[in-house]
Every structure is written in structure tokens, then in C-alpha cells.
Amino acid sequence: MSDDTKKNRRTDHGHGRRAVLRGAALGAALPLLPAAAHAQTRDPGPSPVPGSRPSPDHGSASLRWLGTSGWRIDVGDRTVLFDPYLTRFRTGLFEKAFDPATKIAETDPGLVREYAGSPELILVSHAHWDHIADVPYIAKATGARVVGTETTFHLLVAFGVDPLQISVVKGGEVLDFGDGLTVEVVASLHSRNKKHAYFTPGTLTAPPATAPATISDLPEGDTLAFHVTAGARGPALFLMGASDFAERQVEGLRPDVAMVAVPSSSSTHRYVPRLLRALGRPGVVVPVHWDNFETPLRGPVRPDPTMDLAGLVAQVRRESPGSRIVVPDYRTVYGADMRPRA
């Protein structure tokens, strides 16, 4: 992407819980914010960023958190999914008995009907099981177009998804889906544990000979973030699936709402301050990927006790005091400004 384009865009088992993906806890776990699943911690006010696009039409979209980093975004009668991991299954990750040979569970069609609807677009950040496991079923059942990396492409083809249904991206693409729905693909990075490593790195250059059967058959395969403009007047949403990012790729984006993955180690230098500055200190910040994603999606949110959610919230307040912080839950449907809908 040219400099001018960037300037103008507005729009151990050795593993341990979650360490296999994102790292060990930072000290003792802090409690979940008190009764604040969607509390407002700051007055919304106007965007503090000079030159930002016109105020979005907050009635134009609705959002629902699918747990982990997943979201369902509805714009009128159009549905976009991001990292829809619905059929959760146990790997031992939250019981200090993580098993890389855990078999990938079959998707629950009822959960897809309830939470996914009939999407026309599925955005995939990377190919770990808690991001991609349900994508093959949803894509085949609904015909939705999938946007993801080359590794995501090869895995989905191995699962039986039509290759013509998948758009391979690397970062830098700005995809126009009509009627103001645009998706800017952002080259990104996967989070790292305290040893600066993560579970199943690697990429694929061809489909595996057989369909993946276990979670260790799903390599990360590079990581993407997405800047989605949901309709002609927004809102603009920043979606990330892991708690690291490529600062120079994010620089210049100005989302109205930023879905920020909670880190579980300090291996990424000044993660929150650098991210918020690069994004222009968004009006709304939504912490994601802090829940126990091996509990049923139909149940209440159970926080991962190793994740420092309260610590992230405190950092956001300090680094971007004009941002309103919304801690989401599974049951609430939010408007485009992340206020609960009646």
C-alpha cells in the first residue's frame, strides 16, 4: 500500500492454559468488572480525531459478540461474520491438561441457525481452531463468501468448501461489497506467550492430503485484522483476532469502534498504547478474547481467569480517556455505537 493511500484512508505439559495461544497470565487474575458487561465508562461525545469521517448512522447496523474474537454484524438484511467459533469443545486448555490431539468437533447446526443466520460474508483472522472450526460448515451451508489467508483457503478446500467461494487476501486490499459495505484487509500478527512463541505456527501452500482431524492440524497461517465500514455512513469497525498487530499497517485507520484482543503476556511492547495511538484513539473500545471459550455459547460469559481484562480496561482509560469502554456479553445485541438495543 502506498504512503499516500495510508495517509488518506479514514474510512508446559509445557503448555498451560491459554499460553499455547497467547501466553501466561500477568500475575494473579483480576476479577471481572462489576456488573459491567456493557457498561459505559465514558460519555460518548464526538470523535476526538480531527478530520474523521461524518458521524455514522448508528441505526444502520447491529452487532452481537460470538465470544472469543467473533462477531456477527448485521447491516439491514445483510450479515457479516468475523471468526465465528460457535460449537465450542474441550481441549483441556482451561484445565491445565491441554491436548493438541483433540479432535475437531462437528458443528452444531442449531447454533449456526441461532447465531450465524444467513451470512453473505465470513472474515477469518487466522486458522487456529477457536477461529476457524465452524467456518467450513457455515460456508457450505450458506454459500457465504470467505475472506482469509492462503492457509485458510487450503484448509477450507480440504474441508470441502468450493474454492471459488474463497477470496485469498494478504493485507492492503480494500474490498467493495456494494451499498457502502467495504472491508479493508490489514496485515497483522498473532499474539505470543511469555517465551515469545505460540501454538502451531506455519503456513500452507497447498491443501493437506486429508481433511484436518485435530486442532494441531490447523496452523495459524498468518494473521489478519479487518477494518469494516458497515454502510454508506458507517460505522467503521476494527476487528482483530489476536493481541498483536503491525503498527505501520494500522497507522491511519480511524474506526468508530475498535474490538481489542486482551493480551495475556507482556511480550508485545506497549501493546495498548501503541495500538490506540495508531488507531486514532477510537470513540469506543471493546475488549475481546478474554472469555473461557470452552463453555457453551448459550450460557453466561465465564472469564478466563488468566486474562487481565481489568488491566486492559485500566490501560485504555489511561491512554485514551475520551474512549468509551464496553465489555460485551453473549446475550446482548448492540447498536452500531455499542449501546444495547431494546
Rounded CA separation 142/139 (Å): 5
Q: State residue 33's pLDDT score.
A: 41
Q: What pLDDT shows up at residue 59?
A: 57
For the sheet with 174-176, list strands across it: 174-176, 181-188, 223-230, 236-240, 257-261, 284-288, 324-325
What was the pLDDT predicted at 5? 45
Query: pLDDT, tens digit, for every residue of 178-207?
Result: 999 999 999 999 888 787 876 788 999 999
Instruction: Evaluate whether 259 touches 235 at the Cβ level (below 8 Å).
Output: no
Provide mean pLDDT across the span 70-89: 97
β-strand partners of 227: 184, 238
Residue 287: CB partners within 8 Å, gap ≥ 6? 260, 261, 262, 309, 312, 313, 325, 327, 328
Contact between 119 and 146 (Cβ < 8 Å): no
Contact 264, 85 (CB under 8 A): no
- Give the per-residue pLDDT at 264: 81
Please tell me the least confidently modeled range out of 22-26, 86-90, 206-210, 254-258.
Answer: 22-26
As beta bridge partners, residue 122 has 81, 146
Query: Which fold is adopted by the domain 3-25+60-332?
Result: Metallo-beta-lactamase; Chain A (3.60.15)
Task: With beta carbons less than 8 A apart as the criterion, state whether 2 and 292 touch.
Answer: no
Element (H, E) at 250: helix 247-250
Average pLDDT over residues 97-116: 97
Determine contact, residues 322/42, Cβ cutoff 8 Å: yes
Question: pLDDT tier at 20 (50, 70, 90 boundaries)?
Answer: very low
| Domains of the chain, residue spans | 3-25+60-332
* Buried/exposed code over 19-43 (b: 16+ C-beta within 10 A; e: otherwise): bbbbbbbbeebbebbeeebbeebbe
Mean pLDDT of the chain: 86
Supply the Cα-derived Rg of the chain in whole angstroms: 18
Question: In which residue are the cell numbers 463453555 written?
Answer: 295
**Residue 310 Rama label (left phi>0; alpha psi -120 to 50; beta):** alpha
Query: 58 pLDDT band (50/70/90 cuts)?
Result: low
Residue scoring higher pLDDT (167 or 48): 167
Determine contact, residues 246/189, Cβ cutoff 8 Å: yes
What does the CA dihedral 12, 14, 18, 23 come to, rounded to 10 degrees?
90
Write the DSSP assignment of 134-188 as a string of letters.
THHHHHHHH--EEEE-HHHHHHHHHTT--GGGEEE--S--EEE-STTEEEEEEEE
Provide the b/e sequence for 224-246 (b: ≥16 CB within 10 Å): bbbbbbbbebbbbbbbbbbbbbe
Bridge partner residues of 228 (DSSP): 183, 237
- Adjacency order of strands within the sheet including 166-168: 166-168, 145-148, 121-123, 78-82, 71-75, 62-65, 333-335
Residue with cell 506467550: 193
Collapsing DSSP states into helix, strand and coil, what is residue 271? helix
Per-residue pLDDT, 55: 56
